[in-house]
Amino acid sequence: MTLEPHILTAFDKDLEAVQAQVMRMGGLVEKALLEAVEALEMRDEALAEKVRVGDAAIDALEELIQTECARILALRSPTATDLRTVLTVMRLAAALERSGDYAKNLAKRALVLMHMAPVNGAPGAIRRMARAVVALLSDALDAYIARDAAKAAEVRLRDAEVDQMYGALFRQFLTYMLEDPRTITPCMHLHFIAKNIERVGDHATAIAEQVIYLVEGAVPGAARPKVDSVTEG
Amino acid sequence: MNDMRVLERTVVSEAAKIKAEGVSVHYGSTQALKEVSVDILDRMVTAFIGPSGCGKSTFLRCLNRMNDTVASARVTGRITLDGEDIYAREVDPVQLRARVGMVFQKPNPFPKPIYDNVAYGPRIHGLVRGKAEMDALVEASLRRAALWDEVKDRLTSPGTGLSGGQQQRLCIARAIATSPEVLLMDEPCSALDPIATAQVEELIDELRSEFAVVIVTHSMQQAARVSQKTAFFHLGNLVEYGETGQIFTNPGDPRTESYISGRIG
């Protein structure tokens, strides 16, 4: 639904500004994730360090967005779509901030893994999973900007693929560790990395659900298909 | 969506107190209200919102036949109070207005002592016998209007000497002294400061336990704060009527959305 502008133009400017900040935050998080897995694969210490330090900017942006949203709530008393927009922006910012933390954690683990023997094929598999998750996140944010509930619903369902990738990696790392206990330390790190990327997928799903709330006024009710390959092992 | 606030007060009802069916109002040749049908629920606060000239006050005035006093006004359709047609020939408008009380935008106490302002309605309707009974009713009405403590020592001073907020609460006390079943309020807080507004709003919420309250307001926030049901009027039409929480978070009609979110609509 495209809405006409507010009579009070400053209100539109406030809403646009805070939404632009969320998009900037989304861009930073996507970049951090991709650079963190690249640093892992290429054993690039400088790049990993950059991601680790860069998380502060994401955190600062989140704080800025939350403060700005509180100001809009206090001063503009938004209603209807405006209210749902502000609530959605707040939740998006929180989800992106957590995702940024996972990217930072990934970079930290990459810094540790650089000094260990490589685990066969793991960085490539992690990279594929990270790319899938970044695509998910980026599509969820696109759905937000376009107010596209259908696209958001599709993102929500696609998270199952990420869960599947995580399940496959989990079993793979388990096998390595059983075969050769010397791989336990790097495999534990790699497992946490995979788990964290999977968590980012969950945040992308949460963003997609927020988009559906924003557009339709209600959160999607039906449970999405869950792939729990870990406990079903 | 459920309004959680409804649970705070013990009295909740889904019974329609007033039923309007296809109500239209013409002032001369202009149609101010177009085929409005709505159920006003008992023991609920219903807010009428909408831009100036949308028909909300006109409709409110139909509910106690205030439009009878406007020579050019013609009301068609059917309005029932507890199933009885209020426009039926045998209904006395004065009696009706004792059952359906009204509070106006500007506090309008009579230029008489505070006591007489409240006692006036019960006296002309012959609701009480004797001074003691009247004293008790005046006190009870002023207490219910949250004004007693402020005026109990000066009941003989003129009502017009009170502050704006106190005057409005005096008018509410006057309106509830006849034990109405419905209280109509036409922008009761527009001339009041935020504190007096809050006192009147708290009062409205308390009055809801005893009767149906209908309030016309230009303040979106006030409608959201005090009402359980909201009706949005636009160009003489009732556009949307629903649970207040739903109207303000997820309105069904784009015109409602435009209006409550301050857009050009």
Cβ contact, residue pair A80, B264, below 8 Å: no
pLDDT at B11 over 50: no
Of how many residues is chain B composed? 265
End-to-end CA distance of chain B: 26
CB atoms A81 and B254 under 8 Å: no
Per-residue pLDDT of A171-227, as tens digits, reads 999 999 999 999 999 999 999 999 999 999 999 999 999 999 999 988 887 666 666
Residues in B touching A8 (Cβ below 8 Å): 262
Between chains, do A5 and B248 touch, taking CB under 8 Å as contact?
Answer: no
Whether residues A7 and B248 touch (CB distance < 8 A) is answered with: no
pLDDT in tens, A74-133: 999 999 999 999 999 999 999 999 999 999 999 999 999 999 999 988 999 999 999 999
Spatial strand order in the sheet of B84-85 = B30-41, B16-27, B73-81, B84-85
**A4 vs chain B: nearest CA distance in angstroms?**
6
Q: Which residues pair with B182 in a beta bridge?
A: B100, B212
Query: Per-residue pLDDT for A16 more than 80?
Result: yes
Integer Cα distance of B88 and B215 in angstroms: 25
Q: Above 50 in pLDDT, residue B1?
A: no
pLDDT for B214 beyond 50: yes
**Global pTM value:** 0.81
Find how far residue B95's CA is from the centre of its chain. Answer: 17
Residue B4: pLDDT over 80:
no
Cα–Cα distance for residue pair B102/B91, rounded to 1 Å = 18
Give the confidence band of A228 by pLDDT, cuts at 50, 70, 90: low
Q: Is B85 helix (H, G, I), strand (E, B) or coil?
A: strand
Please say if the pLDDT value at position B242 is more than 90.
Answer: yes
Q: Decide: B20 and B48 in contact? Cβ < 8 Å.
A: no
Residue A3: predicted pLDDT: 79
Q: Do B258 and A4 touch (CB under 8 A)?
A: yes
CB A18 within 8 A of CB A65: yes
Distance CA A196, CA A194 (A): 5
pLDDT of residue B144: 87
Of B249, B263, B264, Cβ closest to residue A84: B249
- Tell me the mean pLDDT in the region A16-41: 96
DSSP B51: S
E-strand ranges in A87-230 read none
Q: What is the pLDDT of residue A151?
A: 97
User: How does residue B7 score in pLDDT terms, banded at 50, 70 and 90?
Assistant: very low
Rg value, chain B, Cα: 18
> In this predicted structure, what is the pLDDT of residue B264?
67
Torsion (CA) A150, A154, A156, A159 in degrees, nearest 10 = -170
Q: Which tokens sit at A148?
A: 């596209």
Could you tell me what percent of chain B has a pLDDT over 70?
A: 94
Q: What is the mean pLDDT of chain B?
A: 91
A193, A152, A145: which is closest to A23 by C-alpha? A145
What is d(CA A174, CA A177) in angstroms, rounded to the nearest whole number?
5
Residue A231 pLDDT level (bands cut at 50, 70, 90): low
The arrangement of strands across the sheet holding B237-243 comes to: B100-103, B182-186, B212-216, B45-49, B229-234, B237-243
Work out the minimum CA distance from B260 to partner chain A, whole angstroms.
7
